[in-house]
Amino acid sequence: MAIQQADKLLKKHKDLHCAKVLKAIGLQRTGKQDEAYALAQEVAALEPTDDNSLQALTILYREMHRPSCGSWWWWQRLLLNCWSDDNGAKGLLWEWIFAELVTKLYEAAVKKVPNSEEYHSHLFMAYARVGEYKKMQQAGMALYKIVPKNPYYFWSVMSLIMQSISAQDENLSKTMFLPLAERMVEKMVKEDKIEAEAEVELYYMILERLEKYKEALDVVRGKLGEKLTSELQSRENKCMAMYKKLCRWPECNALSRRLLLKNSDDWQFYITYFDSVFQLIDESWTPPPEDEHSLEGEVHYSIEQAVKFIEERITEESKSSRPLRGPYLAKLELIRRLRYRGCNDEYKLGDPEELMFQYFKKFGDKPCCFTDLKVFVDLLPSSQYTKFISQLLEVIPLSATAENEIALPADIKALQQHLCVVQLSRLLGIYHAMDKKQKLTVVRELMLRYRHGLEFGKSCLKTELQFSDYYCLLAVHLLLDLWLEGEETAVWQCLTLLEEGLSHSPSNAQFKLLLIRIYCRLGAFEPVAELYSSLDAKHIQHDTIGYLLTRYAESLGHYAAASQSCNFALRFFHSNQKDTSEYIIQAYKYGAFEKIPEFIAFRNRLNSSLHFAQVRTERMLLDLLLEANISTSLEESIKSMSLSPEEDDIPWKDLRDNRDLTVLFNWDPKDRDISEEHRKLSLEEETMWLRIRSLTLRLVSGLPTLSHTIQPKNSEKTAENGVSSKIDTIRSLLQQLEAAVDSGKKFLEQKIQYPVLGPPPTRMAGFFSNGSCQCQTSLFYLVSDIYELDTNGLEDSAEIQERIGNSFKSLVERLTDLFNKCKGDLIEVRDGTLKTHPNLLENLVFFVETISIALWVSSYCDNVLRPFKSNLQKKKKKKKESSVAMPPVFTHFLDYVAELQTLTSNVIDHIKGLEIILTALKLEELSLKDTLLLQEEKKFTKTVQGKVQSSYHHSVQEIGELLKKRLDTIKKLKI
């Protein structure tokens, strides 16, 4: 109807630009993109100047260049080829194209209406989208000349700063762009034209980047600094930052002391106060005899003064209307620093154990008490741990209803106190030192306390957490310890307790995250997808915790869920460029200049994300696995993705590990917790695995480029930039793959064990141990041999043919070995104990992937051999000879294909057998004869078992369906 109405208008007014654009929007939305684009270009060529037409064209361009489902991989490829560099001028190409088109529109409009503030403003923002900082500077000044408003002038100044940030030459940045920006602001200062806080912030930013810290300090302390009012203590914080840069410790100390007198609960100033005191002591600083101590007032320059100051803060706190934690924690912090310097005993600050006990009595009912004390537990001697915990327990009001029963809290306050003690017990390693029987007793006690604590949360909403949730989590952590020690039933109890906890606290993210990790460890992905979805991950969380989902989806045989999880992640990364462009524009509009470099750094950090590179690579491999030579040919699939073996679009040097490895709560001691070494090793492992996967993808993408061509013998080097260069690329990639595999094997020789709640290991160990790696590498070497046969012809190639025949035999043997490692039951019931074998699932998934690569290589082989056989048959007919000997390579290939077919059929039969077993198990009433189980937990145990079995069942179904399709492809291989 919109198109019809636009047509009616155009019959009366042929040159009505806005009507044409509105019609184009209608055409675009009805799927007629070519017509819409032609109409839009027709209007754009006329360079319209009316605001309606320009706005409508902007809307149309944005819609035309939004990635749709149908063009997913085309846009994906544009992204890969357009990494956002430092100047932000590149990024998602569709956003860049959109901005370019809009830029041209407003450039034309500005030329025709040079005094239009609105068009100049739109032009500036269009330049901002693509990071054209030089043009932004010019546009800002042109706008200021038309309408002399301060914001426009400072837009131009900010554009100079952005040129300095993006400049490759740091010297150029500090000698040209920043000094020019400084002079421009100084001009406004001299003319007394500075009006807004944002302008002062910008001046401060310039001076800080020029390392003119004294001048920046003068600005903040002077008249201009009075405008810094939007943030609490903004002026003081900036002064403090400059004092630190200038190493003016007296001023640092005096300012932090003064701020603590105003608010003795501000922790950041305690840290600065202590840092400055000890710096002054090390420098042997003394105050001047006559003048003031410093610009900021009195300075404390000795330990005695610091001790007295902290004691005074505690005295003042006692008079306060509300309890303040800062002074008490500051005393512990001072003791720690003095102990580090070896002079703690001289100042009689008190026993850390007693101070922590007093702190607990005062703040033990606050959830923050544990995290406060956690920082200082290293002040306690290990011999005092048990005594300290007992001391804390004595002051908690617990009561038992009968003899030999567990004493329980009567209110929430007592419950919080007891929870704090339990968390400290775990942190101090008391639970780790227990034997199995003791741990099981503690688990029962914790769960009893958890269920009792639910009484206090009866009025809680579904979105609120239960007060006693941590008891359940701690019980699960103890059971995880038992599982790692070899107690198989403990993992099922973990799942049971977590499912029970989730039923009472459906919004508890910790329950969900822990369930995700444990289900994945057991090889059950089906419940994980729903759990992750219910987390409702927002924005950056798709990068920080998305690895929990994408690491396991494909590797456990849930191909449909894997595609979906990859899509979720990629959608976030794809929208990042557009979103950050909007943030940057808003920052310019509202004068939040200091945020603009942050937004650009954020965008670049996401574009260089390790997780982003992994998801892209795995998604493309997955798409090939699910589609290539099934619904479309390998060549068409690769073409639709615009894959090229020559292109490596992963920014290896700039890869950023944005994973949040501490998202799961952890109460383990330091020696059992995730360390920096674990993080470093995990990043190294992830990068190695990504390199192997990326090279595999590029090698597969090179297969269609080696199409059979009739060339003269030994012409390999003559076809520069032709087929011969393609085989050189394949061989080069194969060498790189070998090197990556060698690096991976050396890495795995370290036998690194990450904490159970630490980073999940990659699939690299399984890839090497089950033989997939050797199979896939051999297949790519076979490609090189086939190409050599194609180039040399069948005559005088007996050696090559024999080599190819041996490769075929070796491959079948290796694939058979890989299949043997897939055999066995996924779920095993022994004496009422349920044991899972998730490694069999991962091996099956690797088998499917390897057999797919074998088929793609076989298709290439088929394409090479078929023309040879056809030519031989033609010669045979011409010569009318009945006994022309066929080269052995044909027999080798046909035997190889037949064996592949038999092997694949055997695997499919094996999978059918697994399905039957799993279905039978699902129908049985499984009950674990485990002393850990309590009566109320049985229904959750049944739920957990059902979820694992159902997940396994769906995994083998999806794997089986995919293998059947691959078997159909094998049957078509006939030369």
Smallest CA-to-CA distance from 184 within 164, 198, 199 is with 199
Using the structure block, give the residue that is written with the tokens 């190639």: 797
pLDDT at 68: 35
The dihedral through the CA atoms of 335, 339, 344, 345 has a sign that is positive
Smallest CA-to-CA distance from 852 within 736, 737, 967, 704 is with 967
- Tell me what the mean pLDDT of segment 286-312 comes to: 89
The dihedral region occupied by 31, where left means phi > 0, alpha psi between -120 and 50, and beta the remainder, is left
pLDDT at 77: 40
| 59 Cβ contact partners less than 8 Å away, ≥ 6 residues apart | 25
- Tell me what the mean pLDDT of segment 634-643 comes to: 88
The CA distance from 333 to 327, in Å, is 10
Categorize the per-residue pLDDT at 217 as very low, low, confident or very high, splitting at 50, 70 and 90: very high
Q: Whole-prediction pTM value? A: 0.89
- Tell me what the mean pLDDT of segment 91-118 comes to: 75
Tokens at 939, concatenated: 């229904």
**Structural contact between residues 709 and 752, judged by C-beta atoms closer than 8 angstroms:** no
Using the structure block, give the residue that is written with the tokens 């039957």: 916
pLDDT at 321: 83
- Tell me what the mean pLDDT of segment 856-870 comes to: 88
pLDDT at 25: 87
Instruction: Inform me whether the pLDDT recorded for 80 exceeds 80.
Output: no
Amino acid symbol at 630? I
Tokens at 969, concatenated: 């492809």
| Least reliable range by pLDDT among 27-36, 187-196, 610-619, 958-967 | 27-36
- Tell me what the mean pLDDT of segment 615-635 comes to: 92
Categorize the per-residue pLDDT at 88 as very low, low, confident or very high, splitting at 50, 70 and 90: very low
Instruction: List b or e across 910-929, with b for residues whose CB sees 16 or more CB atoms inside 10 angstroms.
Output: bbeebeebbeebeeeebebe
The CA distance from 705 to 720, in Å, is 14
| 887 Cβ contact partners less than 8 Å away, ≥ 6 residues apart | 794, 797, 801, 868, 872
DSSP character for 936?
G
Mean pLDDT of the chain: 88
Q: At what angle do helices 610-627 and 634-641 cross, to 10 degrees?
A: 150
**Structural contact between residues 884 and 876, judged by C-beta atoms closer than 8 angstroms:** yes
The β-bridge partners of 409 are: 398
Using the structure block, give the residue that is written with the tokens 């101070």: 355
Using the structure block, give the residue that is written with the tokens 């073996």: 645
The β-bridge partners of 829 are: 834
First to last CA, the chain: 57
Smallest CA-to-CA distance from 123 within 551, 553, 585 is with 585
pLDDT at 641: 87
Instruction: Inform me whether the pLDDT recorded for 904 exceeds 50.
Output: yes
Categorize the per-residue pLDDT at 881 as very low, low, confident or very high, splitting at 50, 70 and 90: low
- Is 21 or 905 the better-scoring residue by pLDDT? 905
Instruction: Inform me whether the pLDDT recorded for 95 exceeds 80.
Output: no
Smallest CA-to-CA distance from 99 within 136, 147, 69 is with 136
pLDDT at 31: 82
Amino acid symbol at 45? A
The CA distance from 383 to 806, in Å, is 67
- Is 75 or 480 the better-scoring residue by pLDDT? 480
Q: What is the pLDDT of residues 537-584, one digit of tens each?
A: 888 999 999 999 999 999 999 999 999 999 888 988 888 877 888 899
pLDDT at 168: 80
Q: What is the pLDDT of residues 392-405, one digit of tens each?
A: 999 999 887 766 68
Instruction: Inform me whether the pLDDT recorded for 707 exceeds 90.
Output: no
pLDDT at 974: 75
In percent, the amount of the chain with pLDDT more than 90 equals 65
pLDDT at 880: 61
Categorize the per-residue pLDDT at 84 as very low, low, confident or very high, splitting at 50, 70 and 90: very low
**Structural contact between residues 779 and 811, judged by C-beta atoms closer than 8 angstroms:** yes
pLDDT at 275: 96
Smallest CA-to-CA distance from 847 within 892, 911, 916 is with 911
Phi, psi of 761 (to 5 degrees): -70, 155
pLDDT at 232: 87
Exposed/middle/buried for residue 326 (C-beta within 10 Å: 0-12, 13-18, 19+): buried
Categorize the per-residue pLDDT at 856 as very low, low, confident or very high, splitting at 50, 70 and 90: very high
Phi, psi of 771 (to 5 degrees): 95, -5
Instruction: Inform me whether the pLDDT recorded for 709 exceeds 70.
Output: no
Instruction: Inform me whether the pLDDT recorded for 716 exceeds 90.
Output: no
- Is 201 or 40 the better-scoring residue by pLDDT? 201
Q: What is the pLDDT of residues 168-197, one digit of tens each?
A: 888 888 899 999 999 999 999 999 999 999
pLDDT at 741: 97
Instruction: Inform me whether the pLDDT recorded for 711 exceeds 60.
Output: no
Q: What is the pLDDT of residues 16-53, one digit of tens each?
A: 888 888 988 888 888 887 888 888 888 888 778 777 87
Q: What is the pLDDT of residues 227-285, one digit of tens each?
A: 999 888 899 999 999 999 999 999 999 999 999 999 999 999 999 999 999 999 999 99
pLDDT at 74: 34
Amino acid symbol at 464? E
What are the counts of helices (DSSP H) followed by strands (DSSP E) for the chain? 41, 4
pLDDT at 876: 67
Q: What is the pLDDT of residues 471-504, one digit of tens each?
A: 999 999 999 999 999 898 899 999 999 999 999 9
The CA distance from 588 to 154, in Å, is 9
- Tell me what the mean pLDDT of segment 673-702 comes to: 96
Exposed/middle/buried for residue 942 (C-beta within 10 Å: 0-12, 13-18, 19+): middle
pLDDT at 71: 37
Categorize the per-residue pLDDT at 303 as very low, low, confident or very high, splitting at 50, 70 and 90: very high
What would you report as the CA-atom Rg of the chain, rounded to the nearest whole angstrom?
A: 35
